[in-house]
Amino acid sequence: MTESPKQPQALVSGASGGIGAAICRHLVDAGYRVIGSARDSASLRDLQRQLGERFHAITLDVTDAVAVRDIANRLPSDCRNNRPGFRSDRL
């Protein structure tokens, strides 16, 4: 009997809408287990209902360094992630 390959994992910040939610959908469709983070917990819950058990929502503000460090320390070592962009005008 051969072992099945380990399911790939990804962390997507800004997952509550727009490009972030689209990336989550694409990754779940591609077989990833996705951890989606955003500040908007209601939108994350909606996305959780849409994507099912392969999607795990985490309410997180990426400008909170302590919270980001805490999440990073709990992620599996093989988890891939994207990095959000910041504008100098904070918009």
Contact 72, 81 (CB under 8 A): no
Q: From CA 78, how far away is CA 67, in angstroms rounded?
A: 20
pLDDT at 32: 93
pTM over 0.95: no
Section 34-46 average pLDDT: 94
Section 33-38 average pLDDT: 93
Q: How many helices (H) and strands (E) does the chain have?
A: 3, 4
Determine what percent of the chain is predicted with pLDDT higher than 70.
78
Residue tagged 């983070």 (tokens): 37
Q: From CA 37, how far away is CA 7, in angstroms rounded?
A: 19
The length of the chain is 91
